[in-house]
Amino acid sequence: MADIYHQIGVKADIHDVYAALTELQGLSSWWTMASGDNYKGGSLVFHFDEHTVEMTIIELVADRKVRWQCTVKEGEWKDTFVTFKLVETPEQVFVNFSHTDWTAQTELCSHCSTKWAVFLLSLKDYLETGKGRPFPDDIHINHIDY
């Protein structure tokens, strides 16, 4: 089993950070075009050109935690979990990110670890400057399409 963990610190109001992780417009501004239902039990679809990723929202704790389960029918993301835990300090809001329950440490898992870091920096930019770098305008880390 393999897991991905990252942390960023953001100079933003915790309510704005939570909104960027839960509202369709916010998600589309730092990760990729999002559609679906943004409530507990709802289904979100993230669009990467012809490829989509489907997530079920399994936990929402206002200004504290967002947790999704990947509900794709096949592939390495199947039945993995994406979690954002927010911790507010006087100086910043820490976003503690994890993508857990991969069946193995694979090349795709390593690729996704780096891409998640890229997108978390996009989230930071979105919250601190008003402009993120969502797909397809993100930083490309290689020349392979997964």
**Which CATH fold topology does 2-129 show?**
Alpha-D-Glucose-1,6-Bisphosphate; Chain A, domain 4 (3.30.530)
pLDDT tens digits, 98-125: 999 999 999 999 999 999 999 999 999 9
pLDDT tens digits, 74-99: 899 999 999 999 999 999 999 999 99
The residue type found at 59 is: E
Mean pLDDT of 47-67: 96
Nearest to 10, CA basis, from 133, 129, 124, 131: 124
Map tokens 């999002």 to a residue.
34
Domain boundaries, the chain: 2-129
> What distance in Å separates the CA atoms of residue 22 and residue 138, rounded to the nearest whole number?
20
- Whether the model pTM is above 0.85: yes
> What distance in Å separates the CA atoms of residue 106 and residue 51, rounded to the nearest whole number?
20
